[in-house]
């Protein structure tokens, strides 16, 4: 009998890569799909798996639709990757972010408790919960200090996962993932904003790239690597919390240099600092310690930042060439 998985946020970057990985493991994959006026399934098409997954209408803010999805597909594993996940937007839409990202996770936990308590649950936590860092390298034991409504909402979801694990015996794991990117990243995220701009500048359809704080440091990995850690957590004998990271931190400035060099350009000739992109409360540096994931899960990041940016720039060059034909 093949296993069944329900993935929220299946049309997002992580959801699409996870769905493809689970299919490769022989899973029956179901995705919770929040209907929008504009089609959102392009990532599933990009990975050539749209016709291989079962999409169920539902929304994180509507517990009835989650209950219905659980009863319909009877999943062995539930992965909550759905959220309002863009940090900058969370200041403009804090209540929406809290409802989708925070209460949405609670809705899933409560629905699982009521109708599918044997299912294993994965919560997508984030390094943004560390925010104003309390230790130079962040591990599972580092205190949290979120600096955005997004980080605060994710922290609520994280602690509710721990609480349901301890209170009701649910198999709930929380993966504290540091920044992870890919050609499927949304254009609003800085790595994809950079790779897209590099492609457009190289092809002569854009002249400059406007950014905010390019001295912020992040621990960047490849989303395709990171979804394997999510799955590995749910294969363990006991539920737990894990940091998933590369263990290397790099400035936005250096990431820009790497990306522009891919097309033979100097980033200093094209990057313009624009104060409107500064955040109300900045997270200056994030650097994860993935030693527990390596020891317990046998997982470690395989893709370097240089390889990741090359992959993203090349994919955007191909996209932009198609656009301007």
Closest CA to 44 of 34, 54, 36, 35: 54
Catalytic machinery residues: 126, 128, 150
Q: Is 173 helix (H, G, I), strand (E, B) or coil?
A: strand
Backbone angles phi, psi at 173, to 5 degrees: -110, 150
Residues 6+ apart with CB under 8 A from 228: 21, 299
Give the containing element (helix H, strand E) for 192: helix 190-202
Supply the DSSP symbol for 294.
Answer: I
Reduce the DSSP state of residue 247 to 3 states and report it.
coil
DSSP letters, 24-78, are: HTT-EEEEEE---SS---HHHHHTT-GGGSEEEE--TT-HHHHHHHHHHH--SEE
> What does the radius of gyration of the chain's CA atoms come to, in whole angstroms?
19
What crossing angle do the helices spanning 104-115 and 63-73 adopt, rounded to 10°?
40
């Amino acid at each position: 009998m093949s296993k069944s998985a329900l993935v929220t946020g299946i049309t997002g970057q992580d959801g699409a890569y996870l769905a493809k990985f689970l299919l490769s493991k022989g899973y029956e994959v179901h995705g919770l799909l929040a209907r929008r006026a504009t089609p959102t399934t392009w990532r599933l098409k990009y990975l050539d798996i749209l016709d291989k997954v079962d999409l169920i209408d539902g929304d994180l803010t509507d517990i009835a639709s989650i209950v219905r999805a659980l009863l319909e597909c009877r999943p062995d594993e539930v992965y909550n990757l759905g959220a309002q996940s863009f940090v900058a937007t969370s200041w403009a839409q804090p209540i929406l972010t809290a409802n989708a990202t925070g209460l949405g996770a609670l809705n899933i936990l409560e629905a699982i408790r009521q109708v599918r308590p044997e299912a294993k649950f994965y919560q997508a936590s984030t390094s943004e919960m560390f925010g104003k860092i309390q230790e130079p390298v962040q591990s599972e034991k580092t205190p949290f200090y979120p600096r955005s409504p997004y980080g605060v909402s994710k922290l609520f979801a994280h602690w509710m996962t721990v609480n349901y694990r301890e209170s009701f015996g649910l198999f709930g794991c929380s993966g504290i993932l540091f920044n992870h990117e890919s050609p499927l990243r949304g254009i609003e995220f800085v790595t994809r904003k950079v790779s897209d701009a590099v492609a457009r500048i190289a092809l002569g359809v854009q002249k400059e790239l406007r950014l905010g704080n390019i001295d912020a440091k992040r621990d960047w990995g490849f989303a395709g690597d990171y979804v394997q850690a999510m799955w590995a957590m749910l294969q363990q004998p006991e539920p737990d919390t894990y940091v998933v990271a590369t263990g290397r931190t790099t400035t936005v400035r250096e990431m820009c240099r790497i990306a522009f060099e891919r097309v033979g350009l100097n980033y200093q000739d094209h990057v313009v600092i624009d104060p409107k992109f500064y955040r109300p409360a900045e997270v200056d540096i994030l650097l994860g310690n993935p030693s527990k994931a390596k020891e317990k899960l046998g997982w470690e990041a395989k893709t370097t930042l240089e390889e990741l940016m090359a992959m993203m720039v090349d994919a955007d060059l191909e996209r932009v060439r198609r656009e301007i034909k």
